[in-house]
């Protein structure tokens, strides 16, 4: 599905990724964890081709993504910070993305799920952070792509929307999709993720299921298990 | 690319700046024509304005548009689109909408004045063509500067410096070197020097077409011999084309390697 081999990336003098090897299987929810600045977003952006790696290869569905843009038809991406052109209206933005990616009807259901009807004719610059994130979610889930990448999907959401988002993620998983999530909210990850990978300073420290992590670190609780990796690796 | 071009173009057409720019040229055209009553003099005054102002506006709009549409660009980068089509689409959106403001803003008053019945139509068309070239050249240069500088203030500063250099400082250096080496034959050197700056090239091209090269003395005669002929015209238009092509090629190459 997604195969990352020997990935290196530097930003100036800052080594962000130091030889990441990662293989993500088809189907299920895969969480990428790590403290701030550990390179989670950079990994995701390299998969999307927004950041160009210094070394290493990435294959999505068996094909190398270098100098390729068509494979992004198979990926839906929810960016970390919902930055939209501020002078565009919500429905104009949705129409534009549809024009670029293809027709879909799913957006109507999503707009209803997240109660966005009153905002459709408002400019994106005037929306609150949480509402922008909802628009962001609609844009991400309205296409039926086999891979979904969510970068900090819970940011700014109210409890009801958070429940709806979890339902949405589970529904997509039930369709056999692969979902890649990064998050700082450990309870959220524990609830949804089938497999996790822990990244620290651009290196991989753990890959496996949450129960495997708990046995490995001899901790009862997921948050303590994560803290245990951190202290063991003197951070 | 055309979808991006369409969105950038309509985005700019909705911004009030395009209308301010359009209104400025409209006003300039009307004032020059109806207070001057001499079409060829109006064309010369226009030339002086266009040569300096069009590059400035192209530079500022190019840099501003790039930085302002950063969010839009990031949204597009995650979509199945080629990077070159995203950036070329945005660049063409800026360059075409600026050119349209220029052509419509100046064209309308001139048509109202009766341009089609006048001999000045060729001079006027050349002026508009040169103005379009300058728009395309300077917005491409501005995009290059913006692509290479993450910091907006720095990018803006470099862009203004680039304009200042090509519009004013270059001429000063050029003149000084001509005075310094006046004992040597300078015909070829000054021809090449003119070719290397799109603003100088445009100015020379128009001045010689307007047949006032006599004002330029001996150099004018040499220039007339070169630029006044069809061969010279073709070579200079070709040089302007290269001035568009090089920065555009760099936009494509640079955008391929950039991280977002």
Extents of the domains making up chain B: 2-257
Kindly give, in sequence order, each residue whose CB lies less than 8 Å from that of residue A215, ignoring residues fewer than 6 positions away: none
What does the mean pLDDT of chain A come to?
87
Q: Given CB atoms, is B16 within the 8 Å cutoff of chain A? A: no
Helix, strand, coil share (%) of chain A residues, nearest 5: 40, 25, 35
- Which residues of chain A does B258 touch, with a Cβ-Cβ cutoff of 8 Å? 52
Name, in order, each residue with C-beta under 8 angstroms of A223's C-beta and a sequence gap of 6 or more.
A186
Residue-wise pLDDT tens digits, A125-151: 888 888 988 998 999 999 888 999 999
Tokens, residue B172: 């000063």
A chain contacts of residue B70, beta-carbon cutoff 8 Å: 83
Between chains, do B80 and A83 touch, taking CB under 8 Å as contact? no
B82-100 pLDDT per residue, tens: 999 999 999 999 999 999 9
Domain that holds residue A141: 2-232
The residue that leads in pLDDT, A183 or B217, is A183
Which DSSP letter does residue A89 get? B
Q: What is the CATH number of the domain that holds A114?
A: 3.40.50.300
pLDDT digit string (tens) for B127-181?
899 999 999 999 999 999 999 999 999 999 999 999 999 998 998 898 888 888 8
pLDDT of A208 reads: 87
Choice among B23-27, B210-214, B234-238 with the minimum mean pLDDT: B210-214
Total residues belonging to chain B? 260
Number of domains in chain A: 1
> Inter-chain contact A69–B81, Cβ cutoff 8 Å?
yes
What percentage of chain A exceeds 90 in pLDDT?
Answer: 17
- From chain B, the residues in CB contact with A83 under 8 A are 70-71, 74-75
ipTM of the complex: 0.83
**Looking at chain A, which residue has its C-alpha nearest residue B65?**
A85
The A residues from 100 to 129 touching B (CB cutoff 8 Å) are 100-101
How many Cβ atoms from other residues are within 10 Å of residue A93's Cβ? Answer: 20
User: What span, in angstroms and rounded, lies between the C-alpha atoms of B218 and A37?
Assistant: 66
Distance from CA of A87 to the nearest CA of B (A): 9
Percentage of chain B beyond pLDDT 90 is 41
């Amino acid at each position: 599905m997604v195969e990352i081999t020997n990935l290196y990336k530097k930003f100036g003098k800052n080594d962000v990724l130091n030889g990441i090897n990662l293989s993500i299987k088809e189907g299920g929810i895969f969480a990428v964890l790590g403290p701030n600045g550990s390179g989670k977003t950079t990994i995701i952006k390299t998969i999307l081709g927004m950041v160009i790696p210094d070394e290493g290869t990435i294959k999505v569905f068996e094909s190398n993504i270098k100098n390729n843009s068509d494979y992004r038809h198979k990926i839906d991406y929810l960016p970390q910070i919902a930055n939209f052109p501020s002078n565009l209206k919500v429905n104009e933005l949705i129409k534009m993305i549809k024009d670029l990616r293809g027709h879909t009807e799913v957006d109507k259901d999503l707009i209803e799920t997240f109660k966005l009807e009153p905002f459709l004719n408002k400019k994106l610059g005037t929306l609150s952070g949480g509402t922008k994130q909802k628009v962001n979610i609609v844009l991400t889930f309205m296409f039926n792509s086999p891979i979904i990448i969510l970068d900090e999907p819970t940011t700014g959401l109210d409890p009801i929307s958070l429940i709806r988002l979890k339902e949405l993620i589970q529904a997509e998983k039930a369709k056999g999709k692969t979902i890649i999530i990064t998050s700082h909210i450990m309870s959220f990850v524990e609830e949804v993720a089938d497999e996790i990978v822990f990244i620290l300073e651009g290196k991989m420290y753990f890959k496996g299921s949450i129960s495997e992590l708990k046995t490995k670190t001899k901790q009862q609780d997921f948050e303590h298990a994560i803290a245990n990796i951190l202290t063991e690796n003197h951070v | 690319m055309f979808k991006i071009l369409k969105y950038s173009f309509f985005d700019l057409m909705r911004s009030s700046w395009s209308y301010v720019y359009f209104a400025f040229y409209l006003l300039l055209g009307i004032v020059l024509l109806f207070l001057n009553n001499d079409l060829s003099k109006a064309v010369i005054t226009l030339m002086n304005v266009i040569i300096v102002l069009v590059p400035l506006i192209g530079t500022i709009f190019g840099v501003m548009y790039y930085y302002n549409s950063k969010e839009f660009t990031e949204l597009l980068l995650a979509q199945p689109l080629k990077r070159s089509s995203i950036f070329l689409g945005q660049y063409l959106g800026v360059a075409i909408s600026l050119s349209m403001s220029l052509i419509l803003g100046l064209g309308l008053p001139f048509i109202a004045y009766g341009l089609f019945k006048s001999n000045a139509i060729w001079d006027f068309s050349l002026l508009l063509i040169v103005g379009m070239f300058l728009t395309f050249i300077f917005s491409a240069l501005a995009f290059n500067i913006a692509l290479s500088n993450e910091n907006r203030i720095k990018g803006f500063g470099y862009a203004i410096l680039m304009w200042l250099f090509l519009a004013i400082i270059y001429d000063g250096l050029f003149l000084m070197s001509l005075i310094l080496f006046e004992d040597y034959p300078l015909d070829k050197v000054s021809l090449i020097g003119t070719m290397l700056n799109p603003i100088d090239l445009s100015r020379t091209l128009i001045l010689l077409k307007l047949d006032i090269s006599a004002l330029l003395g001996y150099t004018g005669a040499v220039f007339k011999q070169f630029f006044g002929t069809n061969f010279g015209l073709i070579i200079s238009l070709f040089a302007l084309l290269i001035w568009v092509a090089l920065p555009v090629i760099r936009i494509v190459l640079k955008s391929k390697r950039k991280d977002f």
